[in-house]
Amino acid sequence: MDVFLQVVVNGLLLGGLFAITSVGLTLIFGIVKVVNFAHGEFLMIGMYATFLITTRLGMHPYAAVAAVVPLLFVLGMMTQKFLIEPLMSARNHDIQIFATVGLSTALINLALLLFGADIATTPAYGLRTAVEVGPVRMLVGQIVMFGVAAALVIGLHLFLQRTQAGRGIRAVAQNRAAAQLMGINVSRVYMITFGLGAACVGLAATLVAPLYPTSPGIGTYFVLTAFVVVVLGGLGSIGGAFLGAMIIGLIDSLAGFYIGSDMREVAVFGVFLLILILRPQGLFGGRQTLSHVS
């Protein structure tokens, strides 16, 4: 029983990791409707920034939030403005996908040039300390990550539901042409949304960096799961992404222990496919469309 509890807790904490790394993607993928393959590399940039701030300035990784989140926000806005927007008028929207793949490869190689292929370790400042709650062990950093992920999801949900800007974003997501006719500056909404999505990745980076060593390829470790989580939760649904992350985390942990680690991905993607077959729009997906105009 103790072991089962530990496996479940491991799964939920892993879910917290998946949630925090996918929330940004659900904004970009669900609202701007750009499949951002550079999502993982945004995380990598945030992690290197956290690494540099902690090692050079001797600051706590969580204090790096103040610099990393704005940095990623600007980076996200610039990506939208200078890379995605010019391609929005292209006849074939797949071009944007290739643009983000190009951005991803370019960023990985830039990091290789600047930092080399070796891993860079952000000081943990006690975040790797294990605490025991009853029979269960968990890390301080994991608990914080889980809490922040939940708070971020609730915060973003309130922002999208209750504020004027949030309503604007949802209107654009539902129907770009109609939103434009209602006087919403679509181009600006896209920029802000992309920036927000990237800023969420920045927040994630400061939480992930003390727990995982940074390397130029680190983004690829997270990006596939992030896409799975976002699609599972339903495009653009923040709460759905959180729930999706928990499901994936739990399956990963339970299957890893009870079936065997070789079968983990089979189980995760098997359940993923099953849910999509039964509910093609994802768990919380509404009747949204991937088209940019309708």
Give the footprint of other proteins on this chain (CB under 8 A). Answer: 3, 6-7, 10, 14, 17, 109, 112-114, 116-121, 128, 130, 137, 139, 212-213, 215-218, 220-222, 225, 252-257, 260-262, 264-265
**Cβ of residue 131: shortest distance to other proteins, in angstroms?**
10
Distance CA 12, CA 143 (A): 10
Distance CA 215, CA 113 (A): 12
Decide if 166 contacts 159 (C-beta within 8 A). Answer: yes
Query: Tokens 């949630």 — which residue?
Result: 19
Extract the tokens encoding 94.
Answer: 């797949």
In the bound state with other proteins, the residue whose beta carbon lies nearer, of 186 and 254, is: 254
In the bound state with other proteins, the residue whose beta carbon lies nearer, of 159 and 221, is: 221
**Cβ of residue 66: shortest distance to other proteins, in angstroms?**
25
Decide if 34 contacts 197 (C-beta within 8 A). Answer: no
Q: Which residues pair with residue 148 across a beta bridge?
A: none
In the bound state with other proteins, the residue whose beta carbon lies nearer, of 137 and 279, is: 137
For 55: left if phi > 0, alpha if psi spans -120 to 50, otherwise beta; the answer is alpha
**Cβ of residue 110: shortest distance to other proteins, in angstroms?**
11
In the bound state with other proteins, the residue whose beta carbon lies nearer, of 139 and 192, is: 139
Extract the tokens encoding 71.
Answer: 């940095």
In the bound state with other proteins, the residue whose beta carbon lies nearer, of 141 and 236, is: 141
Terminal CA-to-CA distance of the chain, rounded, Å? 52
DSSP category for residue 213:
-
In the bound state with other proteins, the residue whose beta carbon lies nearer, of 159 and 212, is: 212
Q: Which residues pair with residue 136 across a beta bridge?
A: 133
**Cβ of residue 200: shortest distance to other proteins, in angstroms?**
18
**Cβ of residue 117: shortest distance to other proteins, in angstroms?**
4
**Cβ of residue 140: shortest distance to other proteins, in angstroms?**
11
Query: Tokens 């080399």 — which residue?
Result: 116
